[in-house]
Each structure stands twice: as structure tokens, then as C-alpha cells.
Structure 1
Amino acid sequence: MTAAQKFAREWIESWNSHDLELIMSHYTEDIEISTPMLKLTTGIENDSLKGKQAVANYWEKALAKFPDLHFELVDVTQGVSSVALYYKSVMGKRAVEVMFFNDEHLVNKMITLYTDL
């Protein structure tokens, strides 16, 4: 199993556990995310957030909104200090999550793309 596959498995398992602390353990304090789900989930007009606490607050709301959230990994690819996970997401959507790592192998930037928005 490659490092990218191991990370992908752990990341999917953390989300499926709905344990916010476990989910957040993959991210840096200065994490920056960009996702169209911000607007869909919270109704706010931003499509990006920065900072671990802001992201945790958003994901806490998302987990509450989707109590049956369950991700299923389809594939994982890797690049230079990065991975892209292709997975079955919420509301029947498929997602590609591109994550960039710092030197400690924590995610400091993430961009998410979805089908059928």
C-alpha cells in the first residue's frame, strides 16, 4: 500500500466515523479549503475558508446536516506533496478532493470538486 493509499483510507475512515477531532487531525492550523459545498451547506456566499477553527466550525455544521454521511473511496492519485481522492460523497454526488501537504504530511490546502451541483 502506498502512502497515498494509506492516507486516503485513513481520511475516508475519519469522515465515516463522524469524529470531528479525528477528521481535523489531518489538517494544519492554517488550512485553506475551497469547496462549493460551503454555499450549499451553510448558505453563506464564500466558497473558501482559512484556519482550522473556521473549517472545523463549517464541518461540524455539515456533519449535523448530513447525519448519514458516508464516503466511499473510488480511487486515489498522487502528485508532488499532494493527493487527489475520487469518492462517492453526499447527496449522490461524486467528488474529487485535491489535498496539498506540508513537511509534516498534514493538509494545508484543499480544493474540492463535485458532480451535479
Structure 2
Amino acid sequence: MRDADHDCEFAGRIAANWIAAWHRRDLEAILGQCTQDVEISSPDITAMPSHRDGVLRGRTTVGAYWAGRLIDHPGKRYGDALGIYLGAGRILLHNQTDHAPIVELLEFDPEGRIMRATMHAVL
């Protein structure tokens, strides 16, 4: 069983790597932190006719979506961490983008790879 110090170290490292990869707009580094069957959900995905449930599954599908987001928003600044919150097998990142604050819930497999990322936007 992992102790609290180890979990905090893990959460800090994962959050720093995740945020840094987005700042660099490094899709390979972003996807490299994810499982092959990663699942993401976001309010933005609900605008896609084939994904009204707001969920995308699989690294290939997620990668194509994220690549499109990086291309469609070339000047978008991805978040600086306002808060990192540790849960059991998950962390919650409170980020500030250039448009608005967002909250991301990252859930991990036993090897520490992101298996689910859920983005929540401010209304």
C-alpha cells in the first residue's frame, strides 16, 4: 500500500508532467501518459454529432480529437495549476486557461497511467 507522502509526490509529478505537455502542445507526451483505452469526456465533445454523450474512447480517437483542438486553437494557453487535489487513484486539477478556469479529473490505472480524463468547465 502506498503512503500519503508517496501519493502526494505521484500526484505532483503527474500534474506537472500533464500541464507541461499541454503548455508545450506536445501531443505525444500527452498521450504517452495515457492508457491505450483511455476515455475522455468534455462538454466540448457533446457538440460532435457522433458523440453527443461527450465521451471519446481509445488513444487513437482521443489523439485525433486533441490534435484537432491544438490545431484549431493555436494561441490557446493551457492551464496553470491553481490547485491539485489527491483522491484514491485519481487527482483533480484546477487550472486556469486564457479563457476560463477548468477542472480536470484524472483517473489512473494501477501502473499510474491516465485511463480516464474528465474536463469540467465553468458555466
Residue 36 of structure 2 is aligned to residue 29 of structure 1? yes
* Structure 1 segment 5-20 matched on structure 2, within 5 A: 5-20=12-27
Partner of 2:82: 74
SS at match of 1:2: helix
Q: 1:33-70: CA deviations, max 9, x gaps?
A: 1111224xxx4132110000000000000001111222
Residue 114 of structure 2 is aligned to residue 104 of structure 1? no
Q: Answer yes or no: is the 8 Å Cα contact 1:16–1:69 preserved in 2.
A: no
CA RMSD, Structure 1 to Structure 2 (Å): 1.4
Structure 1 vs Structure 2: percent identity of aligned residues?
25
TM-score (normalizing by structure 2): 0.85
Number of equivalent positions: 112
Q: Output the amino acid matched with 1:21.
A: E
Instruction: Give the 4+ runs in structure 1 shifted more than 6 A.
Output: none
Residue 98 of structure 2 is aligned to residue 94 of structure 1? no
Q: Answer yes or no: is the 8 Å Cα contact 1:32–1:51 preserved in 2.
A: yes
- Contiguous gaps of at least 5 residues in structure 2: 1-7
Deviation of residue 73 (structure 1)? 1.0
- Contiguous gaps of at least 5 residues in structure 1: none
SS at match of 1:22: helix
TM-score (normalizing by structure 1): 0.89
SS at match of 2:38: strand
